[in-house]
Amino acid sequence: MKHSINTICLLAVLSLAGSTAFAQIHRMERTDSARAERAHDLNPVVVTGTGHHQRLQATATPVRTLSSREMQEQGIATFEDAITRMVPQVSMAPSSMGSFLRMNGLGNKYLLILINGQKLSGDISGNVDLARINMSRVKRIEVLDGAASSLYGSDAIGGVINIITDQPTRQLIGVTSDTRVSGEGKLTENVNLDVFTHGFGSYTSYTHDRADSYQNNDLVYVKGSDTETQQTLAPLFTGYRSHLLSQRFTFAPLKQLALNAGIDYNDKITDRPDTREDITGGTSYEMHYRALRWYAGGIYKFTPKNSLQVDFTSDHFRYGKEYDVATKTQAVGDYVQSKRQHTMEGQAKAILGLLADGTTIFGADWRRDHLEATSGSIDEAANIFALYGQHEQRLWGHLTATAGLRYDYHENFGSHLTPKVALLGSFGHFNLRANYSAGFRAPGLDELHYHYFAVNRGKPQIIFGNDRLDPEKSHYVSVGAEYRTARFAVGVTGFVNRVRDMVVRQNIDVDAASLARLQTEFPEMTADQAALLERYSLYKNSDRGDIKGLQVNVSANLFNGFNLTANYALTHARSYSDGVWRNLERSIKNVGTLAANYYHSWGLYTLNVNLNGRLQSKTYYPDYEDAPGYGVWNISTHHTFDAVRWAVIEPSVGVDNLFDRVDRRIDSSNRRYALYSPGRMLVVGLKLKFKH
């Protein structure tokens, strides 16, 4: 931490000194970000809702966009912060196993995360490893609520988050360094090298991200007691060290043809307290994750309205236990693989202007998922083939209709059809939208084939898959109204999402007969471990979900230099199981996000000040104590110095969690959290841009 701060200070001094010297020689000029008239784009280009680029105002499927400039203004360096600070219907719970993401009450497995339209694979016990997302390359993030299986297939029941990356195509050579540090040892460093000349582009990125583990309370209740406590080392937030190296190439040999290829490598390891004899909560190993993703593709534009796009992606992800404390069976440095996933995906899509004022899409997808899990005794694969079509047509000047249908063939579940219908009525500044879309989700290979035994913190855990599971299905309906001008936009959307045949883990109590059978199934389970086994789990189609919600979004450029955004999500998310309706776990009924941004330029200097907050009601934990609601506010100041024509210096200073909101409840098996902040933290950053 101290080294990082010293590095920032040294870079700042050297950069300022060098810039001052060259300023006496070179004529100063302003860059677009600091000089141009700035107003938040209230009608951005989007692609996720309909599968082709169009203005947000013209799409029948509403999409929430987060631009790179908005994220920079709010002092955001991570994907988690971007989503939770700017999208109220999304919540996140970090852990050593990744981040548990929820949208409108539905969890990770119902959400599809894409990078430029290609699925980001790999999960750890159902949690997503978001360290694989290169935030330094993000141009915008598009968030689509509800079922979207007609375009994206399985897993898109709850929504789609599409991360659109950017690569400069103007300067010959550009170098960017972006460093940010804050409390609890949090450090993010990004370095980019961009080269573009004669239609060829090379974009290299390196990101180092780290954070320390921390506790908000070092006590836990003794097992079986609600009053007696003991000290623990177990962190509320698990520290980590992550490295991400990305290389992307683009080439446009013809005006109509654009090719791209790239590779991303990510290495991440947790940083947890070691075991000790005098206190509980430590661990003898760290979780170590490695991921390698490569891709290639291209687009050929026959005419401005007719194009063919082809993409292929190969995504490898694995994780395991790396021991840093010697045990009876493992030495320091030993690595035991837990899980390995490999996904290959090929896509072909034609975007055609067959009719006047219309856009037609035809596509074909193939995906192969392979899962190897040592502790789960799995080595299985599945292939999915899909064909889809969609047509969007403008009718009578004011009405746009979209209809789509997708056919999926899953080798374990056969054929499945998912339709979509959407209508957009445009009347001056007013837009009215109505959408219906079906969704489906094929059960994962772990849910089908798990034969899992492990000992976690001394307690045995057994999970069985079920190869007789049915796919989960959903029906999503939304209606909305919007008023939009160049300086003001307000939208209201109501929706219902009904899910059937939800796959859940059923806990089954262990009796003498079942214990004997389980000991035969898992001979590695010792007698002492068997004595602690109280129940085992079996996947089954049981629950059905019913999610109703209302979302309100307001954006305004109130006057030159001042922008305001406010978003509100009301969500009533329930599941029906064993004859009882209950709130979905981790669902939140009321959430609001607000941001006020002011900027002004004085000569070579531009100031940007941003105040943003997230306010939410309690988080539901059925059968446990609900986590209390909270309001967290952050302030960020961003300073731009256009020192010379080839360099821009952008220091930033801010405070996260201004009012020091912290959940200090004592942890136990009956406690759950919603707020993971360690309290008020100073955030300091420095961004340097060099171009030629």
The 10 Å CB-count burial string (b at 16+, else e) for 576-607 is: eeeeeeebbbbbbbebbbbbbbbbebeebebe
* Identity of residue 81: D
Give the whole-angstrom CA distance, residue 127 versus residue 124. 5
pTM of the model: 0.89
Task: Put the strands of the sheet holding 98-103 in their side by side order.
Answer: 90-95, 98-103, 127-128, 123-124
Instruction: Please answer whether residues 587 and 102 qualify as being in contact, where contact means their C-beta atoms are separated by less than 8 angstroms.
Output: yes
Q: Which residues, 6+ apart, have CB-to-CB distance to 428 below 8 Å?
A: none
- What is the residue-wise DSSP string for 556-590? EEEETTEEEEEEEEEEEEEEEETTEEEEPTT-BSE
Question: Which range (158-167, 556-565, 676-685) has the least confidence?
Answer: 158-167
Angle (nearest 5°) at CA 81 between 606 and 586: 155
Which range of residues forms the domain containing residue 372? 2-691
Kindly state the percentage of the chain with pLDDT values over 70: 91
Specify which residues 203 forms β-bridges with.
Answer: 194, 248
Residues comprising the chain, all counted: 692
Give the whole-angstrom CA distance, residue 15 versus residue 355. 56
Structure token digits, residue 645: 């024509």
The pLDDT tens digits for 29-69 are: 343 443 333 445 666 776 766 777 777 777 777 788 888 88
The total of other beta-carbon atoms located within 10 Å of residue 276's CB is 11
Instruction: Please answer whether residues 430 and 451 qualify as being in contact, where contact means their C-beta atoms are separated by less than 8 angstroms.
Output: no
Q: Which residues, 6+ apart, have CB-to-CB distance to 154 below 8 Å?
A: 384, 408, 410, 440, 441, 442, 471
Q: Does 181 score more than 90 pLDDT? A: yes
Could you list the beta-strand ranges (E) of 212-357: 219-221, 229-231, 239-254, 257-271, 285-303, 306-323, 335-352
Give the whole-angstrom CA distance, residue 437 versus residue 142. 18
Mean pLDDT of 97-119: 84
The pLDDT tens digits for 602-631 are: 988 999 999 999 999 999 998 788 999 999
Could you list the beta-strand ranges (E) of 26-89: 45-46, 54-55, 64-67
Q: Which residues, 6+ apart, have CB-to-CB distance to 660 below 8 Å?
A: 679, 680
User: What mean pLDDT is reported for the chain?
Assistant: 86
Give the whole-angstrom CA distance, residue 429 versus residue 408. 39
In 24-122, which residue ranges form alpha helices assigned H by DSSP?
A: 32-35, 68-73, 79-86
Structure token digits, residue 121: 């694979």
Instruction: Please answer whether residues 66 and 86 qualify as being in contact, where contact means their C-beta atoms are separated by less than 8 angstroms.
Output: yes
pLDDT score at 386? 95
Beta strands 358-373 and 335-352, pairing class: antiparallel
**CATH at residue 104:** 2.40.170.20
The pLDDT tens digits for 482-538 are: 998 988 999 999 999 999 999 988 888 988 888 888 888 888 888 888 888 888 999
3-state SS record for 164-185: EECCCCCCCEEEEEEEEEECCC
Give me the number of domains the chain comprises: 1
